[in-house]
Structure 1
Amino acid sequence: MTSTELRREHDLLGDYEVPGDVYYGVHTARALENFPITGTPIARYPELIVALACVKLAAARTNHRLGLLSAERTDAIVTACEEIKAGKLHDQFVVDVIQGGAGTSTNMNANEVIANRGLELLGHSRGDYPRLHPLEHVNLGQSTNDVYPTAVKVGLQFAVHRLQLAMTELVSAFAEKAVEFGGHLKMGRTQLQDAVPMTLGQEFGSYAVMVGEDADRLGEALVLISEINLGGTAIGTGLNAHLDYAGLVCEELCAVTELPLVTASNLVEATQDVGAFVQLSGVLKRTAVKLSKICNDLRLLSSGPRAGFGEINLPPVQAGSSIMPGKVNPVIPEVVNQVAFEVVGNDIAISMAAEGGQLQLNAFEPIIAHSLFESLAHLTAACDTLRRRCVVGITANVEHMRSTVDRSIGLVTALNPYIGYEAATRLAADALSTDTDIASLVLDRGLLTPTDLAKILQPENLTRPWRGLTDGAELP
C-alpha cells in the first residue's frame, strides 16, 4: 500500500477509512479526531509504549498457556510486541496524551498496531482482522481498565529507575564537591543573616544528603506502584477472564519486565484506587521542592560577581544579557527551578484527577499518567543538566569567604563559652556600631590573649560541636 491508499475498517459507529500505510486502525483514527488537545502523542513517553507492549505480550503468552490462543497467533503478537519493546513502531502510537475514555484510546492504539504488525508477520494485509483481531485476540481476557493502569505502573517504574540513577549521580557530584571544599571556611546564614561559621564542604555535603534522601523515598514509592490489577478486567470482578488468568499473567509480566510485580488482593479496589499515583506524585513534588531550594542557594552563593555573596563561581555556559556586556547568569539553576514549579503544578493536577474518580473507575488516569511521566522526564533531565552543566564545574572564592568570617558579627557566638553571653552580646553590638571586627575588640579589651583567641578561631574549632570546658581546662 502507498500513503495515498486507504483501507476501510468498521466499528460501533460504522465504516471509516484509514490511511493504508499506518499500523493503527479505526479506533485510533477516531481518537485522533476526537482529542486534538495537546498535539503531543503518547509516543512522547517511550516507557509507556514499552510497558503496553510488555502487557500485551504477557497476556498473549498467558492466553496461550490457558489454551485460549493458538500458537500461530501468539507468536505473531509476541513478535510484534518484542519489536515495539525494542523501539520499533513507536511513531504509530499517535493518540493524544490527554484523552477521554479512561485510557481506552491508548489501549486501542496498542491493540491495533500489534494486530496489524502481527498480520504482516503472518503474511496477511493490515486490516485483515478475522485472521488476527485487535480485540478478540490481542485484547483477549483484558479491559482498558486493567491494561491501562498496569501499563502506566510498569512504565512509571522504568521512568523512576532512570530518575533514581540521575539523582544518584547528582549526589555523587555534590559529595565530591563536599570533599573538595572541606577546608574552606565561610559564614553560615539563617534568615539571610550571619549565623555561625561552617565550611563550604559542609554546605555541599548537606545537598548530597538532601538529594540522596529523596532517591530513597522514590524507592519506597516504587513498592506501591508494583501492585497491579491485571486480570480484573472492567471493574475488578474478572468478568471474561479465565479463572487462572490473573495469577498467570502477573507471572508472565514479571518475567517480561524483570520487575517485582504483584497482583492486588482486591481487584475491585485496585481498579478504582489511584492512591499509588498520588503517593508517587507527592514524592516527586518533595524532590522538586528540595532541588529548587538547592538551586536557590546556588544562585545566592554565586550572586555578584562583586555586588553579591560571591562565595562560589558557577561555570559560565552562555552570555547572560543582550544589553549588559559581560553579564553571566545562573541559567542552569534557573531552569531547574522552573522544572520544580512544573512538577508542583502537575501534583495539583494529579490530586484533582484522583479526587474526581467515581464509583468503580477513575476516568481521569490519562492526565495522571501524562503528569507523572512529564514530571519524571523533566526531573531526570534537570538532575542530569544540573550535574553536568553546573555542579561539577563550581569553584570557590576561598579568600573572600574567609574575609567575611573574619568580619562577621556572627563570629561572636564561638566566644560564648569563654567570655559569657552578656559580654559576647556587648561585643556584637559594639562591633556593629563601630564597624570593627570581633577579634580586634576582644584583644583591645583584654578579654582573651592572642594565643587563646587564635586557638578558638581555628577553622576546625568553629565548625564542629563544642567539647565543653571545666574550670582550669585548656582551650581547644
Structure 2
Amino acid sequence: MEGEFRIQRDSLGEVKVPKDAYYGAQTQRAVENFPISGLHLPRRFIRAQGIIKYSAAYANAKVGALEQKKAEAIMLAAQEVIDGKWDHQFVVDVYQAGAGTSQNMNANEVIANRAIELLGGEKGDTSIIHPNDHVNMAQSTNDTIHVAINISAAEGVQHDLLPILDEIIETLNQKGKDFYSIIKSGRTHLQDAVPMRLGQEFYGYQMTLVEAKKTIVESSDLLYQIGLGGNAVGTGINAHPNYAELAINQVAKLTGLPFRTPEDRFMFMQNTQGAIKLSGALKNLAVHLIKIASDLRLLSSGPRTGLAEITLPAVQPGSSIMPGKVNPVMAEMMNMIGSQVIGNDATITSAGQASQLELNVMMPVIAYNLLHSIQILSNGIKAFNDRSVKGIQANPKRCAELMEQSLALATALNPAIGYDKAAEVAKKAYATSKTVREVVKDEGILTDEQIAQYLDVNKMV
C-alpha cells in the first residue's frame, strides 16, 4: 500500500521504506539483498554502535566540525540506541555486505531519523540531519564496525563472562575443601590409578579455570586498542587531527573501560587481531569446560552400574520411556556449548583470513560468532554452576569401596617387593577377584605390620 511507505533516496536512486521505520534507503536495500538467516547482531553490538556514534558527534562538535545543535540531537538519539530503545530497528542480517557497511548505515540512518525528530522534523528529511554527512562524520564502516566488535566483546567479557567465571571457580574451591578428606581411586586412561583425594580432583578443576581466566584477561587487553578515527584505511581522511583522541576518550568514559589509541592504527585497520586472540582464549576455556563437565558425568555415572562417586542434582526427568531415570543434563548442556564455541572459533579463524590489504571484509560474521561465544559461555557457566556444580554431593562409601578394589594399589608395594613382584600381585588380584591387600595377606608376601605401612592410603595421597 502506497500510504505504508515513504520514498527515500540514496546514491543508487529511490527506495520504498516502511513509513514508520527509522532506518532508511541503504538499510532497506540490505534487507532486500540479504534475506539469509534471520539472525541479527546482538544487543551488545548495537549498544557499541550507539557509543561510537555518540562519541563521534561529541568529538566533532568539540573540534568545531559539527554544529552543536546537530551534535546534541545526534548524541540524544545515540543514547537511546545505547539504552536499547531502537533495537528492533536494526534489521540487517548477519550475512551482509562486506565489512558491515549495511550495519553501519543501519545505525547512521536510525540515529539520523531519530535526531531529525528530536529537532522537530520528519523522518527522511536529510537536510536537517544527514546519515553520512553528520552521523557518520569522520568515520567509515572500516573503523566503526571493527571498533564496535572490540567494545561489545570487551563489555561482554568484563560484565558477563569474568564475574561468572569467578563464581564457578569459588564453587569448585569450596568443593575441594568439602571433599578433601575423601580418598578415592585415581584413573588414567580410564583405568585404575593410584589413590587421590576427591578434593584434589576438584582443586584441579578450579585451577584449570583460574588459568583459563588468566588467558582471557590477557587476550582482552588487545580489545582496548581501538582505531576510531582511522576512517577508511587508517589515514583519518576528512577527520580533524584531534578527533580520534577526543572520540576514543569519550568511548572510555561511556564504557568505564580503558580504551585507548592503538600502537599502530594501520595494523588495527588491517587485522581483527583482538577478536581472533580472544576467540582463541574462549576456545581454550570451552575445551576445559568440556573436560570438567565430562568428568562430572563419569564420576556421577550410575547410579548403580557406574562409578557413582558423586551425585549431581536432579533437575528434570531423564527419559521419555525409562521411569525414574535422571540424566546429567546440565553437564551435557555445557558440552554442547563448548562444542559450539569451538565451532565459532573455527569460523572466526577462517574469517580472519579475509583481512586483505587494508580491511577485513568478514567483520560482521566475526562479530556475531565472537559475541555468541561470550553470551553462551556466560549464560551456560552460570546455569551449570547454579543448577549442578553447587549441588554436587560426594559418596564417601562408594569412593572407599572402589579405591580398595583398585589394582593400582600395588604401586605402593614397589619399594617393598619391586615392580615385577607387585605386577604379579595385581594380576593375581584381578584373576581371583580379590583386592591387592587380600592377595598380599593370603600369600604371606608381607606381614600385617608391613601391609599396614605400605598400603596406608592416607600416606599415598
Kindly provide the amino acid, as one letter, of the partner of residue 319 in structure 1: P
Kindly provide the amino acid, as one letter, of the partner of residue 153 in structure 1: N
* SS, match of residue 356 in structure 2: coil
Q: 1:91 aligns with which of 88, 93, 116?
A: 88
Q: 1:75 aligns with which of 57, 72, 80?
A: 72
Deviation at 1:446, TM superposition (A): 4.0
Q: Distance in 1 between matches of 2:455 and 2:427?
A: 20
Contact 1:97 1:370 in 2 (8 A): yes
Aligned to 1:100: 97
Aligned to 1:40: 39
Contact 1:3 1:21 in 2 (8 A): no
* SS, match of residue 359 in structure 2: coil
* SS, match of residue 6 in structure 2: strand
- CA-to-partner distance for each residue in 1:223-269, whole Å, 9 max, x for gaps? 11111111111011111111222222212221122111121233222
* SS, match of residue 157 in structure 2: helix
Q: Distance in 2 between matches of 1:296 and 1:3?
A: 59
Contact 2:98 2:363 in 1 (8 A): no
Q: Distance in 2 between matches of 1:37 and 1:165?
A: 35
Q: Distance in 2 between matches of 1:267 and 1:416?
A: 63
* SS, match of residue 173 in structure 1: helix
Q: Which moved more, 1:11-20 or 1:445-454?
A: 445-454
- CA-to-partner distance for each residue in 1:200-224, whole Å, 9 max, x for gaps? 1111111111112111111001111
* SS, match of residue 39 in structure 1: coil
Aligned to 2:420: 422
Kindly provide the amino acid, as one letter, of the partner of residue 220 in structure 1: E
Aligned to 2:211: 213
Q: Distance in 2 between matches of 1:417 and 1:116?
A: 82
- The gaps in structure 2 that reach 5 residues or longer are none
TM-score (norm. length: structure 2): 0.96
Aligned to 1:473: none
Contact 1:27 1:105 in 2 (8 A): yes
Contact 1:116 1:126 in 2 (8 A): yes
Residues 400, 263 of structure 1: alpha-carbon distance in 2 compared, 3 angstrom cutoff: same
* RMSD (CA atoms): 1.7
* SS, match of residue 263 in structure 1: coil
TM-score (norm. length: structure 1): 0.93
Deviation at 1:8, TM superposition (A): 1.6
Aligned to 2:273: 275
Q: Distance in 2 between matches of 1:51 and 1:24?
A: 18
Q: Which moved more, 1:115-124 or 1:282-291?
A: 115-124
Q: Does 1:364 align with 2:362?
A: yes
Aligned to 1:284: 282
Q: Which moved more, 1:385-394 or 1:249-258?
A: 249-258
Q: 1:159 aligns with which of 148, 156, 161?
A: 156
* SS, match of residue 225 in structure 1: helix
Aligned to 1:341: 339
Q: Distance in 2 between matches of 1:5 and 1:458?
A: 84
Contact 1:3 1:20 in 2 (8 A): no
Q: Distance in 2 between matches of 1:376 and 1:265?
A: 26
Aligned to 1:55: 52
Kindly provide the amino acid, as one letter, of the partner of residue 188 in structure 1: G
Kindly provide the amino acid, as one letter, of the partner of residue 181 in structure 1: F
Aligned to 1:13: 12
Contact 2:150 2:274 in 1 (8 A): no
Contact 1:141 1:233 in 2 (8 A): yes
Q: Distance in 2 between matches of 1:12 and 1:65?
A: 30
Aligned to 1:149: 146
Aligned to 1:189: 187
- CA-to-partner distance for each residue in 1:1-21, whole Å, 9 max, x for gaps? x99632221001111121121
Q: Distance in 2 between matches of 1:418 and 1:118?
A: 85
- CA-to-partner distance for each residue in 1:317-340, whole Å, 9 max, x for gaps? 111111211211111111111111
- CA-to-partner distance for each residue in 1:353-405, whole Å, 9 max, x for gaps? 11122221111111111111111111111111110111111111210110111
Length, aligned pairs only: 460
Q: Distance in 1 between matches of 2:235 and 2:440?
A: 80
Contact 1:167 1:211 in 2 (8 A): yes
Aligned to 1:109: 106
Contact 1:227 1:262 in 2 (8 A): yes
Q: Distance in 2 between matches of 1:3 and 1:206?
A: 66
Kindly provide the amino acid, as one letter, of the partner of residue 107 in structure 1: N
* SS, match of residue 102 in structure 1: helix
Contact 1:98 1:370 in 2 (8 A): no
Deviation at 1:428, TM superposition (A): 1.4
Kindly provide the amino acid, as one letter, of the partner of residue 114 in structure 1: I
Contact 1:156 1:373 in 2 (8 A): yes
Contact 2:149 2:275 in 1 (8 A): no
Q: Distance in 2 between matches of 1:350 and 1:86?
A: 28
Deviation at 1:459, TM superposition (A): 4.3
* SS, match of residue 253 in structure 2: helix
Contact 2:227 2:265 in 1 (8 A): yes
How do residues 235-274 of structure 1 correspond to structure 2 at under 5 angstroms? Answer: 235-274=233-272
Q: Distance in 2 between matches of 1:266 and 1:430?
A: 69
Q: Distance in 1 between matches of 2:78 and 2:447?
A: 80
Q: Distance in 1 between matches of 2:451 and 2:119?
A: 87
Kindly provide the amino acid, as one letter, of the partner of residue 6 in structure 1: F
